[in-house]
Amino acid sequence: MTAVESQHDVEGDDDATTADPAHRYRSPRGGYEIYTAPDLARPSQPDDLTDDQLREFAGYFDYSGLVDDDHDDETVRTSIAEMVRAITPGNIVTPLFNQGGAIGMSLVHA
């Protein structure tokens, strides 16, 4: 990662159009880091997921509205687990930017 400190010289900068241009180059949240480009990871494949992982992932969803007389809890959870397995190859997230703290922000490429 690369720590970035605001040291931009705005004198003579044609883009500096505000009365106090220093604020354009410094985050009010403080310092931040830009991650160096990581190697691209191979997307997970459906068979890479264990049954335990699928059960865990199904718990992340509020599926209570899907449970009814025809679809019990286990049937719905199994269907959600299979949905997660099916979309797994399309789920890859690469962190690009991170700024810690209570009001910090982060940026990922998904």
pLDDT for 75? 94
Predicted pLDDT at 44 = 83
pTM over 0.75? The answer is no
| C-alpha–C-alpha distance, residues 73 and 2, integer Å | 47
Query: How far is Cα 99 from Cα 31, in angstroms, rounded to an integer?
Result: 7
Q: Domain ranges for the chain, please list them.
A: 1-41+92-110, 42-91
Q: What is the pLDDT of residues 47-92, one digit of tens each?
A: 888 989 988 888 888 999 999 999 999 999 999 999 988 988 887 7
